[in-house]
Structure 1
C-alpha cells in the first residue's frame, strides 16, 4: 500500500509502499508524537539506499525505526530526507537531492539529524569529518539508530569515527576489487565484462561477434565519409531511415564521429585515452607489445586509415577549452530569436581564423556575432551600470546563542560610541573624528538590525562585506561577474540584424534583470568545503 506521511510541518515523505502492519504502527507513532511539547528538539530523519534490497533496510523500515527512536528520545519529527538509489561513496550528504536541501537551505529548521545506520549515512571518513565539523559549527546533533553515536558526548564522536573508518575500508576494498577486475579483462582476448563497442555483440560462447545491422551502418558511413559527406548529414540520413542507435536516444554528429574514430572497429581491445583532452579511445597492448585482438575487424588497417583521413579533412578546430569554459558568460548570453545559449565557434579562412558567437536552433546558427570579446565587454559595461552599485551581502548561519553574544557585543559598541559622541566625549572636539565615529556607529546599527528581532532560534542572516559588486567584479574579473550574474538569473539577449551590403550583422544586447535581483545576488557560502 502507498502512503504519504504528514506531521505538523506538512507532507514529509515521498510516496512509498507500506504494509498494513506498518501503517498501523505509523499511525500509533503519530498519535504519540503529537503529545510532545512544541519546544521539544526537532528531528530530521535521513533515509538512504543505493538499491532496493532486503526488507530490513527498506525505506519504510528505516523510517519506522527512526520514528520510534525519535519518540524514545523525545524528539519531534519535522522532516524526512529520503534519497533512494544514491551511493554514499560517490555522493556526500550535502550533495544529495533531499538531504542536501535541508543541510544547505533549511538548517535552522531542525536540531538533530537521525539516520538508520552509519553506512546508510556516509561511507568515507573525510565526508564524516566534514559533517561532524558542520554539526558542531551549527550546533546540531548526529544520532544513529544502530550505533552508539551522539555528538553531545566525546565518546560518541570517537565511536562515529571508528565506525566510519571501517565503512571506508569496506568501500575501498570493493573499489579495489572492481578496478582489479577491469585491469585483468583489458589483457584478455575474451570479452569478460562490460558493454561491447558499437558494431559488435556478444555471442552465446561469450566472445565478440560482428553485429550485422551495425556493420552495414558503419560500412555505409565509411563510404559516405570518403565521398566527403559530413557527419551531420549522415546522422540526418540515419534518423530518417529510422536506424536504431544501439544505445537509445537519437543520432548526433558527435556520437557518430566517436564511433567512427574508435580503434575497436579494427577488432582490437581499447581503453579510454585520458591524456588526449578529448573523448578518444586508444589501443591496449599485451605483454608481448602487440595489440590485443578480441574479434574480427569491421575495417582493415588501410580502410581505417583512409576513414580517419577523411574525417580529419572535414574537422573544425574549435577554441581550446579554457579553465572557465570555451565561452565566457555561458548561460547568460542567449539568442533573442531561439533562446538558446550563444557559444564561441572558430572558422578557418584563407588568411586568418575567425571567432564568432552563434546559437543552436537558428538555421546555420543565425547571423553570427563576430568579435566575441567586444560582446563580452559590452555585457560587462551594461552589468556594471545596472548592478555595480549594489552592496555585496553574504549569507551566514547564526545560532541562537551566537546571536545573543553578537547582539550584546554590538549593543555595547553602540553604547560606547553614543557616549563618546556626547558634548563631553572624546569625539566631540574634532570634526573629522566625529564624522568617522558617526559612520562606524551607523555600521554597527545596521549590523544590529541585520540580526533581526531578539530570540533564541537559529536563523540565516545577511552580512554586508563592505564593498559593492562593481568593486568585486573589477577585482575578480569577468569570471567573478559571470558566476554572480548566473546566480542572480540575469539574461542578456543578443539581437542580430542584417545590414545591407555588409557581411557582419548589427549586434544589439538586451539585458534583463529579475525584480528580486538583490536577494538572488546574496552570496551563500559553502559550509562543506574541505580544508
Structure 2
C-alpha cells in the first residue's frame, strides 16, 4: 500500500519551535557536542546553522534532527557553532534566504559573526537557481563558505561551485514542476461548471450534494447582507453608513471597509458566474470568465437577477465621486511619520472636490469623521521640514560598509614572526649577539617592529562593519532629494510627529500643534545600511 504523509496542523507547526520537541536523548547529544566545541582553538572557523522547514510530515526531517546533524558536521569540520537560524513554516520557493526572519537577520546585519553557512540539504536552503546564484555571489563578496550535510558543496573549489549550480538547477526544476501542476489545475478549474478548488466569492459557500460533488450554495447571512445593502443603495444611503450598520448588526465582521463593501456589491459573481480577479492600478476588480461558447460560465444560483444587479450598479454610480488622478508618489507626504495625537493613527490627505474647487486636508483614521481636518497640508509639511532640519540637518550622512580584517591579520602574523626571529637571535649564541654593533642594530629593528605591532588596532584584524562619512550632511541630502527623500529617511529611523488639532471658536479650521518625536538612538539609526539583495528585485 502507498505510504501517506500526515501534515501537521498550523498549531502543531507553530508549536514545533519549542524545547518540548527535544527528547532527553537529543538534549544529551546536544550537550556532548557543545563540550566538544569548547575544546576547539579560538581561531576555529565560526559556523552558522540554517534550519528550514515548510511543512512537517512523516517523510520530512525535523528541525531538531537537522540541527543535531549540522552540529555533528561542524564538529567534523572543526567549526564552532555561533548561531542557529531556524525558520519554520517558510517556503524556500516563495521566500529567499535573505527575506527569512532569522536567517535574513544574520545575512543582512550579522555578517562579521560567522565564516561558514551550513544547511542540511540544498532544497532546505534554496529552491530557485536565481536565489542560489545570488547567495554564491554574496558568499564570494564576503568570503563566506557554503557547506551542505547531504550535498557535495564547497565554494572554496571550482568543482564545488559547479556542483552547487547543478544541484540548484535540479531543485528549481522540481519547484517549477510543482508550480506548473498547480497553475494547470487552476486554469482547468476556471473552465468548469463544477467547483473544484478556490475560495468562493462573498455570498457563497461550498457544500456537498447527494452525489458527493462540491457545489456552491448561498451563505444565508451574506445573502441577507447583500440584499439589504442593495435596498439601501437604491434609497441613496451612503456606503459608509451601510458599513456601520452591517458591522453593528453582526452580519459582517469589524474589518469591513467601504472599499470592500463596494467591491462585493459590484462583483459579477453575484449573478452566479465564474469570475477572476483583475488588478489594475492597485484596484481590485472581478471580471467574468467566458466559456468555449463565448458565454459566462454559470457555477451557482444567482444572488441577484441581472435587473437587480444592473440597478444596484446604477445606484452606486450615481453616488460615486470622481476623485482626482493619483500622484505617482502618493497624495500624502510623510505617510507613516505624521500621526494623530488622539488616536495615534497615520494622517493622510483626503481630497474633496465640489463646484467651488478642490480642497485637500489631513485627516486620521480612527477619530470620528477623521477628526478635525487640517485644511492646509503643505503648511504642515513645511513646518515639519523646518523642525527636522533644525534638529537633524547637520548630522553627517554615514554609510555602513563591510571591512575585512584579513590584510591586518596577515600583517600581525608577519610582525609577530619577525619579532620572534629577532628575539631568538639576540639570545646568547644567536647571530645578533656576536658583536656589539649587530646587537645594537638588531635591538633597534626589534623596537621598531614592536612599535609597528602595537600601532595596529586589534579591532582591525576582525571582519567588521565600519561607518564611512561621504562628506555630506542630511540637510544637503534632503535638499537634493526633496520631501520624498526626507520622508523615507524619517520613516526608516522611526521619527514621528504627533498632530494635535484644537477647535477654535468661530473659526472652521482647527489650531494645529506639532510635536516632533525622535528616538534616543537616532544617530545610530540614521546610518545608511546598503541592501546587498536589493538588486535582485
When normalised by structure 2's length, the TM-score is: 0.83
Deviation per residue, 1:184-225 (Å, 9 max, x gap): 111111111111111112231322222233212211111122
Alignment partner of 1:111 out of 105, 109, 115: 115
From the superposition, tell whether residues 285 and 243 of structure 1 become closer, same or farther in structure 2 (CA, over 3 Å): same
From the superposition, tell whether residues 342 and 282 of structure 1 become closer, same or farther in structure 2 (CA, over 3 Å): same
Alignment partner of 1:363 out of 368, 373, 385: 368
From the superposition, tell whether residues 269 and 219 of structure 1 become closer, same or farther in structure 2 (CA, over 3 Å): same
In the aligned structure 1, how far is the partner of 2:465 from the partner of 2:322?
A: 48
Q: Show the counterpart of 1:51.
A: 55
* SS of residue matched to 1:274: strand
Q: Show the counterpart of 2:46.
A: 42
Q: Show the counterpart of 2:405.
A: 400
Count of aligned pairs between the two proteins: 473
1:519 correspondence with 2:519: no
* SS of residue matched to 2:303: coil
Q: Which moved more, 1:348-357 or 1:291-300?
A: 348-357
From the superposition, tell whether residues 401 and 286 of structure 1 become closer, same or farther in structure 2 (CA, over 3 Å): same
Shift of the alpha carbon at 1:334? Answer: 1.0
1:253 correspondence with 2:261: no
Q: Show the counterpart of 2:443.
A: none
Shift of the alpha carbon at 1:403? Answer: 5.8
Gaps of 5+ in 2: 1-16, 413-455
In the aligned structure 1, how far is the partner of 2:401 from the partner of 2:271?
A: 58
Q: Show the counterpart of 1:139.
A: 143
Alignment partner of 1:148 out of 152, 172, 179: 152
The answer as to whether partners of 1:196 and 1:208 remain within 8 angstroms in 2 is yes
Gaps of 5+ in 1: 1-12, 408-450
Shift of the alpha carbon at 1:81? Answer: 0.3
1:495 correspondence with 2:500: yes
In the aligned structure 1, how far is the partner of 2:404 from the partner of 2:20?
A: 35
Q: Show the counterpart of 1:290.
A: 295
1:206 correspondence with 2:253: no
* SS of residue matched to 2:534: coil
Shift of the alpha carbon at 1:319? Answer: 5.3
Alignment partner of 1:160 out of 161, 164, 168: 164
1:387 correspondence with 2:395: no
The answer as to whether partners of 1:14 and 1:82 remain within 8 angstroms in 2 is no
In the aligned structure 2, how far is the partner of 1:234 from the partner of 1:75?
A: 64
In the aligned structure 2, how far is the partner of 1:145 from the partner of 1:322?
A: 52
1:463 correspondence with 2:471: no
Q: Show the counterpart of 2:174.
A: 170
Deviation per residue, 1:307-335 (Å, 9 max, x gap): 12222333344554444333211111111
The answer as to whether partners of 2:289 and 2:297 remain within 8 angstroms in 1 is yes
1:179 correspondence with 2:187: no
Alignment partner of 1:97 out of 101, 106, 109: 101
Deviation per residue, 1:119-171 (Å, 9 max, x gap): 11011111111111111111111100000101111111111111111111111
In the aligned structure 2, how far is the partner of 1:525 from the partner of 1:271?
A: 39
Q: Which moved more, 1:106-115 or 1:255-264?
A: 255-264
* SS of residue matched to 1:289: coil
In the aligned structure 1, how far is the partner of 2:411 from the partner of 2:274?
A: 65
The answer as to whether partners of 2:271 and 2:305 remain within 8 angstroms in 1 is yes
In the aligned structure 1, how far is the partner of 2:66 from the partner of 2:223?
A: 50
1:338 correspondence with 2:343: yes
Q: Show the counterpart of 1:447.
A: none
The answer as to whether partners of 1:396 and 1:460 remain within 8 angstroms in 2 is yes
Q: Show the counterpart of 2:418.
A: none
Alignment of 1:171-320 (within 5 A): 171-204=175-208, 205-243=213-251, 245=253, 250-275=255-280, 277-318=282-323, 320=325
In the aligned structure 1, how far is the partner of 2:492 from the partner of 2:308?
A: 50
From the superposition, tell whether residues 282 and 350 of structure 1 become closer, same or farther in structure 2 (CA, over 3 Å): same
Shift of the alpha carbon at 1:340? Answer: 1.3
The answer as to whether partners of 1:319 and 1:344 remain within 8 angstroms in 2 is no
From the superposition, tell whether residues 404 and 166 of structure 1 become closer, same or farther in structure 2 (CA, over 3 Å): same
The answer as to whether partners of 2:323 and 2:353 remain within 8 angstroms in 1 is no
Shift of the alpha carbon at 1:453? Answer: 4.9
The answer as to whether partners of 1:49 and 1:83 remain within 8 angstroms in 2 is yes
From the superposition, tell whether residues 332 and 97 of structure 1 become closer, same or farther in structure 2 (CA, over 3 Å): same
In the aligned structure 1, how far is the partner of 2:330 from the partner of 2:245?
A: 32
Q: Show the counterpart of 1:128.
A: 132
Between Structure 1 and Structure 2, whose CA radius of gyration is higher? 2
Shift of the alpha carbon at 1:381? Answer: 2.4
In the aligned structure 2, how far is the partner of 1:242 from the partner of 1:452?
A: 68
Shift of the alpha carbon at 1:404? Answer: 6.5
* SS of residue matched to 1:151: coil
1:351 correspondence with 2:351: no
In the aligned structure 2, how far is the partner of 1:228 from the partner of 1:514?
A: 48
In the aligned structure 1, how far is the partner of 2:75 from the partner of 2:519?
A: 45
